[in-house]
């Protein structure tokens, strides 16, 4: 089992108030599974993704990744885990505004210690893969929203991570671009070379129109995941 | 990536980066200008002290004379025989410098053996009182010339007498590098050499030589002993501590002070050993007055003193305050920059960047600003120092009448006399404010330190960000 979450709670203190974002979540995700998390605003989707992404620690319960309890790892080990195994796609793209498209993709290879030319070569290849080979030197401000998200996808994919965590990846995009991005994730990461979505995935992604959507895909060795667990 | 990221980031917020660099530049520039100014003041003080004290002399040892000592000089103007009546005469009387007690010459040897002392020279500072004129034409009460055997009585017909005085110092020719002449320069002729210990030779202060029309090869007579003038000398500010210098041995003999000195010049083994050497001398010679150049510096007054005080107190505090303010502004701007980039750093952390890499990135940006600020600051400091030199009036140094030992009221030799002379001839010094390469490097180093401090504070703040918190702020 890749992920094992047992009775996970997460609370935030806001002044004197305590807000419970997650309460008793128990969940397992296997290698190769595709998981979509659906829920209303404030239901804890992003919080759960952050716990799965080793970016935060649970208040209670345990989050095991490959048998390791993420709540007990040191910050440096968590950073190493994120660099080795996880890829993130954010709703707001989160590109570094001062760096070009290519340099933004390179930032994902910096923690690996990939040097100069090799880093650039791999970043350019990732950009080619999302159809932005000719926009490599452009700054984020010179790209459209869809192009920026493509750069973010290239950044997430350039390390071929075991898990992709996408937090409302199409939330800021128009319908046409959204379909392009979904197709791109499907094609480039979930392994369908035809560029067509399975019916289950199509159903899940269509939900984007109705409510925010978070997704976890862990396809390594298992091909396309075909289902989702609603939370 | 590291340098590209720094360059792009600084270019993006170039106004803030320039403001930070300028803040550091102003702080560092003030440090440079004040340090250069203080260096100029210090150099001016050294110039004054060297001329008063002698290069290479760190400590001066004298012994205060007892009140009843010294006595008045008596001159006999009566002819010893009738034949001398009406004839010209010249009589010298050598007295020790007022207020100075003669000490045994072996005191010099005693001091030489003390810890921290590397050179010692004894000197005998004297004042030569000279009366010249003609012996009285003595007559008896009845208006007749006095008969042989009778002492002539002073009468109204006594010819006018000429009374003069000059200062004379007996110096040890074998210890020329420490002593009253250590800071003097030979204007003409030569200095005293080691083999002049018993020679009848003299050095004359150039100003005194001009005043008295004394040239090289001329003879100076002291108590009927003639000394050949072999050189004229001048100190840095034109005020030698004595008019005439002769070998110590002769000064002792002529003043009947065999094996005596009244001024001892001491050079310490190193500058930081001066206090220890002073203490050792005071212990060995409890009755002596031991004065260091620092003590002498305290006697300096006038605008030089004011400038020194200004540099020491106000200038130092001003520079320190400006530097602290510049560091604080740089730190605040760094923290502000980090606060605005929470999303950026959160993203990088989510990508697996370790905190130390993010801290290094923030530090790198701050250090670059520090380097730019340092270079600008050195430029500002040099301009400031030049403005000080250009617009500051010539400094004057006056040495207080309460100089070394009792205040000499006229004549006397050694530092005491120099002090007295300086009091009447205030030394004027052109102000300089040198900016050395070391100072420039120090300034750049300070600015980089400021940048590092600002970067460390900003970086520390960035490193404490947890990626989830950073990303959550976007929600």
Residues of chain B contacting A79 with CB distance shorter than 8 Å: 349, 352-355
Q: Mind listing the pLDDT tens digit for each residue in A46-89?
A: 889 889 999 999 999 999 999 999 999 998 899 999 999 998 88
Q: Do A97 and B11 touch (CB under 8 A)?
A: no
- The answer to whether B4 faces chain A, any CB pair under 8 Å, is yes
SS3 B223: coil
DSSP strand E in chain A: where? 3-14, 17-29, 34-38, 60-65, 68-69, 86-89, 163-167, 213-217
| Span A14-18, average pLDDT | 85
- The answer to whether B349 faces chain A, any CB pair under 8 Å, is yes
pLDDT at B138: 59
Q: With 60 as the cut, is the pLDDT of residue B141 above it?
A: no
pLDDT at B318: 77
pLDDT at B413: 43
A101 pLDDT tier (thresholds 50, 70, 90): very high
Q: Which of A107, A108, A122 to mutate to test the interface with B (most CBs of B within 10 A)?
A: A107
Q: Do A111 and B353 touch (CB under 8 A)?
A: yes
Option in A53, A90, A106 nearest B1 (CB):
A106
Each domain of chain A, given as residue ranges in start order, spans: 3-217
What is the average pLDDT value for chain B, to the nearest integer?
Answer: 78
Q: B181 with B171: CB under 8 angstroms?
A: yes
**What does residue A103 show for φ and ψ, rounded to 5 degrees?**
-65, -35
Residues of chain A contacting B360 with CB distance shorter than 8 Å: none
Q: B435 with B382: CB under 8 angstroms?
A: yes
Each domain of chain B, given as residue ranges in start order, spans: 2-50+303-472, 65-286
Q: Mind listing the pLDDT tens digit for each residue in B51-91?
A: 555 555 678 888 877 654 445 556 666 666 666 677 777 77
- State how far residue A47 is from chain B, nearest Cα, in angstroms: 8
Q: Report the distance separating Cα A92 and Cα B27, nearest Å.
A: 41
B67: which 2 tokens?
Answer: 């009140």
What is the average pLDDT value for chain A, to the nearest integer?
Answer: 79
Q: Do A96 and B347 touch (CB under 8 A)?
A: yes
pLDDT at B424: 39
- State how far residue B343 is from chain A, nearest Cα, in angstroms: 7
Q: Report the distance separating Cα A201 and Cα B139, nearest Å.
A: 149
The sign of the dihedral angle between the CA atoms of A207, A208, A213, A218 is: positive
> Considering chain B, what percentage of its residues have pLDDT values greater than 70?
74
Residue, of B143 and B386, whose pLDDT is higher: B386
Query: How many CA atoms does the CB half-sphere of B413 hold within 13 Å?
Result: 30
pLDDT at A231: 25
B101 pLDDT tier (thresholds 50, 70, 90): confident
| Span B38-53, average pLDDT | 70
Q: Which CATH class is domain A3-217?
A: alpha beta
| Span B1-25, average pLDDT | 88
Q: Report the distance separating Cα B442 and Cα B29, nearest Å.
A: 11
Query: Any idea which of B21-30, B144-153, B221-230 has the lowest mean pLDDT?
Result: B144-153
Find the radius of gyration of the CA atoms of chain B: 34
| Sheet with B427-429, side-by-side order of all strands | B300-301, B395-399, B427-429
Task: Give the chain B residue nearest A44 (alpha carbons).
Answer: B472
- State how far residue A199 is from chain B, nearest Cα, in angstroms: 31
Residue with tokens 């000429």: B162
Minimal CA–CA distance to B352: which of B467, B459, B474?
B467
Query: How many CA atoms does the CB half-sphere of B262 hold within 13 Å?
Result: 29
Query: Any idea which of A136-140, A202-206, B249-253 has the lowest mean pLDDT?
Result: A202-206
B408: which 2 tokens?
Answer: 């000499």
| Span B304-308, average pLDDT | 70
pLDDT at A122: 93
Residues of chain A contacting B5 with CB distance shorter than 8 Å: 96, 98-99, 103
Q: What does each C-alpha distance from B43 to B36, B236, B267, B334 come to in angstroms?
A: 10, 13, 20, 40
Residue, of B287 and A110, whose pLDDT is higher: A110
Option in B344, B346, B352 nearest A111 (CB):
B352
| Span B399-410, average pLDDT | 39
Interface A–B counts its CB contacts (< 8 A) at 85
Q: Mind listing the pLDDT tens digit for each residue in B348-369?
A: 999 999 888 988 998 999 899 8
DSSP state of B194: G
β partners of residue A4:
A28, A64
Q: Do A82 and B351 touch (CB under 8 A)?
A: yes
Find the radius of gyration of the CA atoms of chain A: 17
Q: B230 with B206: CB under 8 angstroms?
A: no
Q: Report the distance separating Cα B375 and Cα B454, nearest Å.
A: 18
Residues of chain B contacting A46 with CB distance shorter than 8 Å: 472, 475
Its ipTM equals 0.84
């Amino acid at each position: 089992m890749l992920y094992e979450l047992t009775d996970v709670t997460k609370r935030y203190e806001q002044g004197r108030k305590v807000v419970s974002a997650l309460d008793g979540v128990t969940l397992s995700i296997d290698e190769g599974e595709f998981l979509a998390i659906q829920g209303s605003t404030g239901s804890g989707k992003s919080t759960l993704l952050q716990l799965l992404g080793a970016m935060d620690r649970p208040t209670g319960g345990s989050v095991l990744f490959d048998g390791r309890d993420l709540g007990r790892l040191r910050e440096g080990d968590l950073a190493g885990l994120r660099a080795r195994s996880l890829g993130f796609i954010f709703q707001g793209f989160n590109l570094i505004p001062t760096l070009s498209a290519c340099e933004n993709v390179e930032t994902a290879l910096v923690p690996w210690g990939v040097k100069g030319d090799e880093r650039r070569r791999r970043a350019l290849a990732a950009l080619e893969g999302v159809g932005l080979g000719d926009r490599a030197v452009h700054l984020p401000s010179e790209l459209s929203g869809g192009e920026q998200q493509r750069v973010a996808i290239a950044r997430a994919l350039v390390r071929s991570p075991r898990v992709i965590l996408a937090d409302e990846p199409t939330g800021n995009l128009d319908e046409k671009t959204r379909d392009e991005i979904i197709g791109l994730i499907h094609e480039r990461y979930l392994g369908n070379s035809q560029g067509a979505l399975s019916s289950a995935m199509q159903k899940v992604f269509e939900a984007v129109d109705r409510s925010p959507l978070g997704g976890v895909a862990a396809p390594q060795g298992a091909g396309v995941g075909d289902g989702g667990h609603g939370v | 990536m590291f340098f590209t990221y720094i360059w792009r980031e600084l270019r993006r917020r170039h106004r803030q980066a320039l403001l930070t660099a300028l803040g550091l530049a102003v702080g560092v520039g003030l440090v440079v200008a004040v340090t250069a100014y203080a260096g100029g003041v210090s150099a001016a003080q050294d110039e004054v002290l060297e001329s008063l004290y002698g290069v290479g002399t760190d400590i001066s040892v004298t012994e205060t004379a007892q009140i009843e000592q010294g006595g008045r000089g008596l001159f006999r103007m009566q002819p010893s025989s009738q034949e001398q009546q009406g004839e010209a005469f010249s009589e010298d009387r050598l007295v020790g410098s007022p207020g100075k007690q003669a000490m045994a010459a072996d005191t010099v040897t005693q001091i030489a053996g003390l810890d921290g002392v590397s050179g010692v020279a004894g000197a005998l500072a004297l004042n030569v009182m000279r009366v010249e004129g003609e012996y009285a034409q003595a007559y008896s009460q009845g208006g007749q010339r006095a008969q042989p055997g009778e002492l002539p009585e002073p009468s109204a017909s006594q010819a006018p007498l000429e009374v003069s005085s000059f200062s004379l110092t007996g110096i040890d020719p074998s210890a020329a590098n420490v002593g009253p002449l250590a800071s003097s320069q030979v204007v003409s002729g030569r200095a005293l050499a080691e083999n002049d210990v018993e020679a009848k030779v003299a050095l004359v202060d150039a100003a005194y030589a001009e005043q008295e029309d004394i040239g090289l090869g001329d003879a100076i007579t002291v108590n009927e002993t003639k000394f050949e003038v072999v050189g004229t000398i001048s100190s840095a500010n034109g005020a030698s501590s004595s008019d005439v210098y002769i070998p110590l041995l002769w000064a002792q003999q002529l003043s009947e002070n065999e094996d005596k000195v009244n001024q001892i010049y001491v050079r310490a083994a190193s500058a930081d050993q001066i206090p220890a050497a002073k203490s050792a001398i005071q212990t060995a010679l409890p009755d002596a007055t031991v004065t260091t150049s620092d003590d002498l510096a305290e006697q300096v007054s006038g605008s030089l003193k004011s400038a020194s005080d200004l540099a020491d107190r106000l200038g130092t505090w001003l520079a320190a305050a400006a530097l602290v303010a510049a560091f604080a502004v740089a730190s605040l701007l760094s923290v502000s920059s980090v606060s605005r980039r929470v999303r950026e750093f959160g993203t990088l952390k989510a990508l697996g960047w370790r905190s130390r890499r993010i801290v290094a990135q923030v530090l790198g940006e701050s250090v670059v600003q520090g380097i730019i600020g340092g270079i600008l600051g050195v430029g500002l400091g040099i301009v400031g120092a030049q403005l000080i030199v250009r617009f500051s009036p010539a400094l004057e140094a006056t040495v207080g009448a309460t100089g070394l030992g009792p205040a000499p009221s006229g004549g006397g030799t050694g530092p005491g006399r120099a002090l007295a002379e300086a009091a009447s001839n205030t030394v004027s010094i052109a102000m300089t404010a040198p900016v050395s390469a070391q100072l420039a490097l120090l300034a750049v180093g300070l600015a980089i330190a400021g940048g590092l401090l600002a970067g460390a504070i900003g970086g520390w703040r960035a490193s404490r960000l947890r990626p989830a918190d950073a990303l959550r702020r976007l929600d």
